[in-house]
Amino acid sequence: MYLRFAKVFYFICVVLFIVAFLYIYASLPEQLSYEADGARDQLSKGLFFSIALGLFVVLNLVTVLPAKMLENQSFPRFRRLLRVGDPFRDKMLAWIFSFCGLLNINLFIMAYYVFMINNPERTEMGGMAAVFYLAPLLYLVWIVGLFVLLVKRFKQFQSPGLL
């Protein structure tokens, strides 16, 4: 059940990122400004699109491909550890898919930040400043959740009834 929710969350995050990114891209000026190492520089709109879309594709492939391979039992060594129907397997796959969704949300936040910096009307960030600080906190919560899952699994292997 967790796995289905995580897959739906991931799918919704992918669709929302693509739709929002296309809207943001269409609203950007031809030259984007950014500041690196104290020096202001400019980047073309097309190059930004290519970099952002490439980052999106690479991150999604790197994170979802191993999850799909685990789900399809493609790794022979993990078949015994992650048996079909095992609650740990479902929770672990749900964690991976939800983490992929979290990555997509953070990619959207970064694209929105670039949009706000290059917005011609130059509106204030307002409540969005809290979202920029919330992203690392979400990563921390997800990583702690992974360690909780793994510690529970290791305790199961250490119990005398399983050996």
Q: Residue 75 falls within a domain, yes or no?
A: yes
Distance CA 122, CA 144 (A): 37
Predicted pLDDT at 15: 95
Provide the domain limits for residue 52.
Answer: 2-156
Q: Give the N- to C-terminal CA distance of the chain in Å, as an integer.
A: 28
Question: What would the pLDDT profile of 112-148 be if each residue is shown by its tens digit?
Answer: 888 887 876 766 666 677 777 888 888 899 899 889 8
pLDDT for the residue numbered 130: 78
pLDDT score of 124: 65
Question: Tell me, what's the pLDDT at 126?
Answer: 63
Whether residue 162 lies inside any domain: the answer is no
Residue segments in the chain with a per-residue pLDDT below the cut of 50: 163
Q: What's the whole-model pTM score? A: 0.80
CA atoms within 13 A on the CB side of 41: 8
Task: Give, as one character, the DSSP assignment of residue 29.
Answer: -
User: Domain count of the chain?
Assistant: 1
For residue 102, the model assigns a pLDDT of: 92
Report yes or no on 73 lying in a domain: yes
CB 90 within 8 A of CB 3: yes
Q: Pick from 31, 29, 54, 25: which is nearest to 44 by CA? A: 31
